[in-house]
C-alpha cells in the first residue's frame, strides 16, 4: 500500500514568489492535514481538509492557503514568500479520524532565499 506522497521533496524560492506543494494521501484516506516544522517553532498545524472542505485552520496568515480535490489529493499554497517560511512542510492523511493516527509523508523542504 503506497504511503503519503509529497512533491516536490525540495524547493528553493525567492522572497516574494509563491509556491504550491502537493500531497497525495493513502488510498481511501479522506482527511489531509498540513503541518509546518521549523527548528524554532517545532511542528505547527496549518489546516485540515476532509471531503474537499477545510475543517480546521491553524494560526497562520492568509498567505497560507490550501485545497483538496475530489480524489482527496491536497495542495497548499504560500504566496508572497518570506524568509521565515523556510521550513519542512509535512502532510498527514487518515482514514478513521482518530483511532488509527495519522500517516505522514516525508515532507517538502522549502528554502526561501
Partner 1 sequence: GEDVEQSLFLSVREGDSSVINCTYTDSSSTYLYWYKQEPGAGLQLLTYIFSNMDMKQDQRLTVLLNKKDKHLSLRIADTQTGDSAIYFCADRGIGAGNMLTFGGGTRLMVKP
List of residues contacting partner 1 (CB under 8 A):
4, 6, 31, 33, 35, 42-43, 45, 48, 50, 55-56, 58, 90, 92, 94, 97-99, 101-107
Cβ at position 58, least distance to partner 1 in Å = 7
Cβ at position 80, least distance to partner 1 in Å = 25
CA 28 to chain centre: 18
What is the signed CA dihedral for 92, 93, 96, 97, rounded to 10 degrees? Answer: 50
Cβ at position 7, least distance to partner 1 in Å = 13
Q: Any residues with CB less than 8 A from the CB of 62 and at least 6 apart, and which?
A: none
Amino acid at each position: 500500500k503506497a504511503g503519503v506522497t509529497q512533491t516536490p521533496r525540495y524547493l528553493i524560492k525567492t522572497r516574494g514568489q509563491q509556491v504550491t506543494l502537493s500531497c497525495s494521501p493513502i488510498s481511501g484516506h479522506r482527511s489531509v492535514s498540513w503541518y509546518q516544522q521549523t527548528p524554532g517553532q517545532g511542528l505547527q498545524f496549518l489546516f485540515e481538509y476532509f471531503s474537499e472542505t477545510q475543517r480546521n485552520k491553524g494560526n497562520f496568515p492568509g498567505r497560507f492557503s490550501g485545497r483538496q480535490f475530489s480524489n482527496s489529493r491536497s495542495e497548499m499554497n504560500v504566496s508572497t514568500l518570506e524568509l521565515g517560511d523556510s521550513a519542512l512542510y509535512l502532510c498527514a492523511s487518515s482514514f478513521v479520524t482518530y483511532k488509527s493516527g495519522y500517516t505522514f509523508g516525508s515532507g517538502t523542504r522549502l528554502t526561501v532565499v
